[in-house]
Amino acid sequence: MQTVSLSLATATGGLLCGLIASVVGGAAGGIVVGGEALGNKLAGMIGGVFGPFAGVTGVAIGLVALMFVG
């Protein structure tokens, strides 16, 4: 079985990709959920701000778990 080492560059790249994906996903989710009530621009902005709270936290926990397992 091959072991995979987690370097600083790999972890930073993963965290950056997770940040971008969570901002885009949060904005899209905000538009879907609150676009009619708040307007698409405001709902997208709010979703883009609050999306990374869960997304980056999940990616960071996953990277820490991968560091211990790998």
Residues 6+ apart with CB under 8 A from 9: none
Assess if residue 38 is contained within a domain. yes
Q: What's the confidence (pLDDT) of residue 39?
A: 95
pLDDT band at 70 (very low <50, low <70, confident <90, very high): low
Assess if residue 41 is contained within a domain. yes
Q: What's the confidence (pLDDT) of residue 8?
A: 87
Domain count, the chain: 1
Assess if residue 56 is contained within a domain. yes
Assess if residue 5 is contained within a domain. no
Q: Which domain holds residue 16?
A: 10-69
In angstroms, the CA 47 to CA 29 distance is 7
Assess if residue 52 is contained within a domain. yes
2-57 pLDDT, tens per residue?
Answer: 666 778 898 899 999 999 999 999 999 999 999 999 999 999 999 999 999 999 99
Assess if residue 28 is contained within a domain. yes
HSE-up (13 A, CA, CB side) for residue 32: 6
Q: Which whole-number Å values give the CA distances from 18 to 13, 15, 26, 54, in the listed order? A: 8, 5, 12, 10
Assess if residue 3 is contained within a domain. no
- Structure tokens given for 44: 């997208």
In angstroms, the CA 26 to CA 69 distance is 29
